Copies of this chain bind each other. A is one copy, B any other.
């Protein structure tokens, strides 16, 4: 295990101060050009050295005929080259003193035995020069905190807290949009491709000590270093949650993974056992992977499984009760003192059973502050699940009816949304109980979007919320067990500022 983030082979790959870029040109239809333009679009501030045999400049950067001509040995080389010239480029990098690379090019082990031979040569050259590299057949890295995104799709949204290590390149580049829409963002995303030199275990180890990463998300088709995976995960899970989507457990998933990255998959039971042993939460789908990641990264430890559901509609409340019940949670009866406090603010038609159903919205501030403030003090409950129907649909109609100008309406709306989101969030901060939301409307609507941005997980279906909440409870149960074992062993964690870091593992 690494002792600090700088000692990871990934450190310079994730945090380069200069990049030699092979395969970008002024022809925008080429993959390399597209990838370089993503780097430009996000505003990477390090040095970029395009390597091109004939162009003088590439996309505005001074180009170099060869890495040998570079003013410095770049921290990182990115290669988007035809398969047959990759090894030679790697050799030149070695000669120039470049120690880290991303090999995007495919056509290696994943494409058959001839490709496997080529990959061996590539590995040998890298070993010879002490070069550490991601790939081949990968998309490398995205580190939004460094404004670095050399992937084919532009980054969206601010940097975040999700550290992804993926055996699919698509899932790093295609997930910017998904994560942003769901209230998250990458701390760092790593695509491992064929794992010739750096594998998913190395990535997990890096993300374990990365200070921006609050949860590690893994997309797995097959793990080659099982023992090391377990040891590394065991060292990480007591202080940072890990969620894994493993698709190789079904016959169909196994075959698909094989032809994708040539990885060897194993049966579900083996992986389930392995994950359980080291405290890794298993997700069954990509939606679950990030649903769980959001909950685990953002919510405090729940003290039990008793949930209050707050709703202003009976049907959504009953649907949530059904999902929550099936996920193994209890819906406790409210204490008499809570009911008495509620009676003063809720409508006459409201129900003080659980779900607490207001039946309609008497006042938005009651819904967003007064009522949850009472419910979060209930001693018989450990978590609050709340249904969001955007008050916008009512509020904006009232405004439209008021005859205000469009500008004044926009101003009033913004004030209204900000005030209510802020009031609600103050409760989330005040009480140390997990607060989770669900809605059937778009997550981009006012208040909900604001709360997502503040780190409140809000899901598109109460069942998704229920499963994420179950993962949260399970993580804290398993974590404590993994942790206890470790404390008696050789592994020690120490606090480093507000971030817990694994040290001396």
- State which residues 193-210 of A face B: CB under 8 Å: none
List, in ascending order, chain B residues with CB within 8 A of A406's CB: none
Could you give, for residues 251-285 of chain A, a 1 whenever the CB lies within 8 Å of some chain B CB and a 0 otherwise?
Answer: 11101110111000000000000000000000011
Q: Is the Cβ of B463 less than 8 Å from the Cβ of A253?
A: no
B221, B255, B440: the one contacting A178 at CB < 8 Å is B440
Which of A118-126, A364-372, A389-397, A417-425 interfaces with chain B?
A389-397
Q: Is the Cβ of A315 less than 8 Å from the Cβ of B219?
A: yes
Q: State the copy count for this chain.
A: 2
Q: Is the Cβ of A351 less than 8 Å from the Cβ of B318?
A: no
Min CB–CB distance A222 → chain B (angstroms): 10
B154, B247, B284, B353: the one contacting A259 at CB < 8 Å is B353
* A374 contacts the other chain (CB 8 A): no
* A323 contacts the other chain (CB 8 A): yes
B154, B253, B355, B461: the one contacting A321 at CB < 8 Å is B253
Min CB–CB distance A342 → chain B (angstroms): 14
Could you give, for residues 301-316 of chain A, a 1 whenever the CB lies within 8 Å of some chain B CB and a 0 otherwise?
Answer: 0000000010001111
Q: Is the Cβ of A349 less than 8 Å from the Cβ of B107?
A: yes
Known: A168-B313, A169-B315, A170-B316. A441 touches B178 (CB 8 A): yes
Known: A253-B321, A322-B252. A393 touches B154 (CB 8 A): yes
List, in ascending order, chain B residues with CB within 8 A of A284's CB: 463
Interface residue count on the A side (C-beta < 8 Å): 79
B153, B247, B318, B325: the one contacting A319 at CB < 8 Å is B247
List, in ascending order, chain B residues with CB within 8 A of A175's CB: 440
Q: Is the Cβ of B461 less than 8 Å from the Cβ of A287?
A: yes
Which of A12-20, A27-35, A93-101, A473-481 interfaces with chain B?
A27-35
List, in ascending order, chain B residues with CB within 8 A of A255's CB: 321, 331, 353
* A343 contacts the other chain (CB 8 A): no
Min CB–CB distance A212 → chain B (angstroms): 23
List, in ascending order, chain B residues with CB within 8 A of A500's CB: none
Q: Is the Cβ of A394 less than 8 Å from the Cβ of B34?
A: yes
Q: Is the Cβ of B174 less than 8 Å from the Cβ of A318?
A: no
* A249 contacts the other chain (CB 8 A): yes
Min CB–CB distance A53 → chain B (angstroms): 22
Q: Is the Cβ of B321 less than 8 Å from the Cβ of A252?
A: yes
Which residues of A are in contact with B by a Cβ distance under 8 Å? 28-29, 31, 34, 37, 106-107, 111, 152-154, 166-171, 174-175, 177-178, 181, 219, 221, 245, 247-253, 255-257, 259-261, 284-287, 309, 313-326, 329, 331, 349, 351, 353, 355, 357, 359-360, 389, 393-394, 397-398, 401, 440-442, 460-463
Other than A34-B394, A259-B351, A284-B463, give 7 A-B pairs with Cβ distance below 8 A.
A111-B349, A174-B389, A247-B322, A248-B322, A252-B326, A253-B322, A260-B318
7 closest A-B pairs by beta carbon, nearest first, are A168-B315, A252-B325, A253-B322, A170-B313, A260-B314, A256-B321, A247-B322
